[in-house]
Amino acid sequence: MKRLHFHILATLIVMVLSYQVNAQTDYSYKNKSLPIETRVQDLLGRMTLEEKAGQLNQLNGGVLTGPQAANDPGQQGKLKLLRDGKIGSFLNVVGAAETKAVQKIAIEESRLGIPLLFAYDVIHGFKTVFPIPLAEACSWEPAMAEKASGIAANEAAAAGLHWTFAPMMDLTRDPRWGRVMEGSGEDPLINSVFAAARVRGFQGNFDNHHVMACVKHFAAYGQPEGGKEYNTVDMSRYSFWNTYSPSYHAAVDAGAATVMNSFNVFDGIPATANKFLNTDVLRNRWGFKGFLVSDWASYGELITHGVAADAAEAALKGILAGSQMDMESSAVVNNLPQLIKDGKVPQSLLDDAVSKILYWKFKLGLFDDPYKYSDEKREAATMLTPASLETARDAARKSMVLLKNDKNTLPLSKNTKNVLVAGFFADSQEDALDFWCGKGEAKDVVTYRNGIANKLPKATINYAQGYEASGKTNGKLLVDLKKKARGADVIVAVIGITGKHAGEARSLADITPPEGQMEMLRALKASGKPFVVVVHAARPMVLTEVEKLAPAILNAWIGGTAMGNGAADVLFGDYNPSAKTVISFPVSVGQIPVYYNAYSTGRPHEDGHDGPNDFWVSRYRDIPNSPLYPFGYGMSYTSFEYGDLKLSAAEMTASQTVTATVSVKNTGSREGEEIVQLYLRDLVGTYSRPVKELKGFEKINLKPSESKTVTFTIDSKMLSYFDFDGNTLLEPGKFQVFVGGNSRDVKTADLRLK
Ligand code: BGC
């Protein structure tokens, strides 16, 4: 009996032990059924210090396989690092076949087989190029930007990519800055809603038809002094909290997986080494859970900024401040293990960063199927589909802002027999693409000339170059222009700035149209023929002289692959323009920065008040204070009349709300869309407050003679703001409420917060 008992007991012990052994095996990171956190911890426990630092290393890949790479020591060096477990991510490795081949090396030839993340700048489209983000924001239709980002993500994911470095949401008030095109203009609310929409569009539900988004550039990169790229940023914390930070916060709240450092200093400390930004604000205040990536070489640039003596100190300062993945500088991979061994950096900081990066690799499913994004068949079938091109066309026409339209010059008749399309940019596919056009190709772009030809298949469409590609005057081209103008019924003249001057490192000191373009317009004016001007530029230009000459101006921005079709829809009335600019158009370069939401000054100047007693006020003596076209401005082919603004109550408490209603009527003869805008002004606060702040908007569609009542609910959040430390202030007192079709022409009512 005793023996039997012993036998049973022994069997039980063996069972328990073997169960534990099995369970332990099951606890490997390879076990799909375990929670991600458990898998991450398991894997972390198996990694060496060097392998951990390797996960924080992101390099510019390019083409890493094939005969050319095989003979390139630089590329072979990167592959060696990969095999040694010293690379966590590549940027610029693109295409289903290439990503698959490189991933295979990571999986099969590195010790732990940790999959790579492939990242790329998918800013406004991958293969199907959408309008520049600044233009898209002028639609005031975040749902459209979300859809466009979704299409871009689907194309990018089919090409093996997991991660886009977008959206950029650096609020800027300076059109000289080349990257003004990547953001959503000068207003915090517009930047925020578009940032969140794009994050949703890119990321979807993290399946292999979407890509991780990256909130960039954190923070305040949009305000380099003088609009000069990579220049110093110097702003008050008050402005940071109220104006510049909300869009990043909105994107983090929308669930963005990653955030990117900016190149600039903030309060004198480069963003990559800035603990206030990366730890205090991003992690502690906003609760960001994803991982942070540096901008290109921005760890290394701590040396040139003059805050680190060498790469080791750069890595030290960046990591201690809360920065994580190192794009391209190799400071982290080369120095962090030693810094930890020397006790200068706590191991927990590295473990935390690696855990976050691994988390996303698990979350995307790459440990279970490392090749799930790299499908050549799907890649071939996904790009430039008719549906994507149709969305791009819709986005283009909804982004184009009608700035001027004397005597209903536009829309042009579709019965026109002879159209002259003039201007170098009218016929150039190359100049329609910018630095951030992804894998978009010039050959796929529909130019303005072709768009118009598509619209009027029976008409004669002539073309005259008008000015040199550089913008210079050319006598021969002018003679040709004048000759062709004589035979035309109408002329569509395209001026602007090449897409090649849009984006990073492309700041311009002068954004007025060059002389050759103006000569062309003067010649057209002299011809006596009806003409309209299309402006092709990825920033607002100074159009003061153009405005004097041209009967009609359509600001087409840079509209992507389908821009010519989109423009033709607007020019010939198949689409009634509805866009409103999200950035002020300056009267002259000297007026920059000019923006609607400026703080009240002690000596404000009102336009038109230029009498002898209006001298000691904040103004230039040679130009007006107001921009040429204000924020929120854009015309339609129909007209809208605003009724009186009514508030449901003249007073409210912090827990109450007040509704502001206005009736808007279509008083013209065409159906059209109007963007109704709500602004507020806090008349007395502890801090000097902006003269107007956008707080809400609604895009409505009205048939001729139709009226609609638009209602905005004003709550205490809209009346509050941030102090210097980022604390919310809600201060009783007087407010003004404004509603209108742009930031200048508004109806006003008074409101008091008790
Ligand atoms: C830019 C980033 C971009 C990165 C990778 C940097 O120069 O500032 O916006 O994502 O390069 O291409």
Strand-pairing partners, residue 218, are 261
The pLDDT of residue 349: 98
Q: What angle do CA 128, 134, 138 make, to 5 degrees?
A: 100
**Does ligand 1 lie within 6 Å of residue 504's CB atom?**
yes
The yes-or-no verdict on residue 141 having pLDDT over 70 is yes
What number does the ligand 1 atom closest to the CA of 92 have? 12
The yes-or-no verdict on residue 647 having pLDDT over 60 is yes
Give the DSSP per-residue string, 503-544: STT---S--SPPHHHHHHHHHHHHHT--EEEEEE-SS----H
The pLDDT of residue 7: 60
- Residue whose CA lies nearest to ligand 1 atom number 2: 295
SS3 636: coil
Percent of the chain with pLDDT strictly greater than 90:
95
Residue entry with tokens 């954004």:
511
Tell me which residue of 105, 46, 104 sits closest to 81, measured CA to CA.
105
For the chain, domain boundaries: 52-379, 389-571, 638-753
Tell me which residue of 506, 428, 417 sits closest to 471, measured CA to CA.
428
The pLDDT of residue 17: 47
The yes-or-no verdict on residue 638 having pLDDT over 80 is yes
243 φ, ψ (degrees, to nearest 5):
-110, -45
Strand-pairing partners, residue 385, are none
Annotated active-site residue 295? The verdict is: yes
- Residue whose CA lies nearest to ligand 1 atom number 10: 165
| Marked catalytic residue, from 121, 174, 295, 394 | 295
Q: How many CB atoms lie within 10 A of CB 37?
A: 11
- pLDDT band at residue 26 using 50, 70 and 90 as cut-offs: low
Helix 311-321 × helix 347-363 angle, to 10°: 70
257 alpha-carbon distance from chain centroid: 16
Measured CA to CA, the distance from residue 425 to residue 161 in angstroms comes to 32
Nearby residues of 267 by Cβ (< 8 Å), 6 or more positions away: 237, 274, 276
Q: For 486-514, how does the pLDDT look when each residue is reduced to its tens digit (9 = 90+)?
A: 999 999 999 999 999 999 999 999 999 99
The pLDDT of residue 613: 83
The pLDDT of residue 409: 98
The pLDDT of residue 609: 86
Q: For 45-83, how does the pLDDT look when each residue is reduced to its tens digit (9 = 90+)?
A: 999 999 999 999 999 999 999 999 999 999 999 999 999
Q: What angle do CA 160, 369, 352 make, to 5 degrees?
A: 90
The yes-or-no verdict on residue 727 having pLDDT over 50 is yes
**Does ligand 1 lie within 6 Å of residue 596's CB atom?**
no
Q: For 370-407, how does the pLDDT look when each residue is reduced to its tens digit (9 = 90+)?
A: 999 999 999 999 999 999 999 999 999 999 999 999 99
What number does the ligand 1 atom closest to the CA of 262 have? 8
- Residue whose CA lies nearest to ligand 1 atom number 7: 296
Nearby residues of 382 by Cβ (< 8 Å), 6 or more positions away: 154, 155, 158
The pLDDT of residue 159: 98
- pLDDT band at residue 18 using 50, 70 and 90 as cut-offs: very low
Q: For 460-487, how does the pLDDT look when each residue is reduced to its tens digit (9 = 90+)?
A: 999 999 999 999 999 999 999 999 999 9
DSSP letter at 111 equals S
Asked if 425 and 469 count as a contact pair (C-beta separation under 8 A), the reply is: no
Nearby residues of 8 by Cβ (< 8 Å), 6 or more positions away: none
Quote the pTM value.
0.96
Q: What angle do CA 6, 11, 13 make, to 5 degrees?
A: 95
The pLDDT of residue 19: 46
- pLDDT band at residue 25 using 50, 70 and 90 as cut-offs: low
Q: What angle do CA 595, 596, 601 make, to 5 degrees?
A: 90
The pLDDT of residue 9: 59
Which structure tokens are listed for 600? 């009240």
Tell me the CB-side half-sphere exposure of residue 229, using CA atoms within 13 A.
Answer: 11
The pLDDT of residue 217: 98
Percent of the chain with pLDDT strictly greater than 70:
97
**Does ligand 1 lie within 6 Å of residue 179's CB atom?**
no
CA distances from 671 to 575, 668, 703 (A): 10, 8, 4
Asked if 634 and 403 count as a contact pair (C-beta separation under 8 A), the reply is: yes
Residue 406: exposure state from Cβ atoms within 10 A (0-12, 13-18, ≥19): exposed
**Does ligand 1 lie within 6 Å of residue 121's CB atom?**
yes
- pLDDT band at residue 2 using 50, 70 and 90 as cut-offs: low
The pLDDT of residue 746: 98
The pLDDT of residue 176: 98
Measured CA to CA, the distance from residue 162 to residue 209 in angstroms comes to 9
Rounded distance from Cα 296 to ligand 1 centre (Å): 6
- pLDDT band at residue 21 using 50, 70 and 90 as cut-offs: very low
The pLDDT of residue 14: 47
Asked if 433 and 499 count as a contact pair (C-beta separation under 8 A), the reply is: yes
**Does ligand 1 lie within 6 Å of residue 155's CB atom?**
no
The yes-or-no verdict on residue 342 having pLDDT over 80 is yes
The yes-or-no verdict on residue 90 having pLDDT over 70 is yes
- Superfamily covering domain 638-753: Immunoglobulins (2.60.40.10)
Architecture in CATH of 52-379: Alpha-Beta Barrel (3.20)
- Residue whose CA lies nearest to ligand 1 atom number 11: 296
Measured CA to CA, the distance from residue 712 to residue 719 in angstroms comes to 13
Instruction: Supply the CATH classification number for the domain 389-571.
Output: 3.40.50.1700
**Does ligand 1 lie within 6 Å of residue 90's CB atom?**
no
DSSP letter at 690 equals B
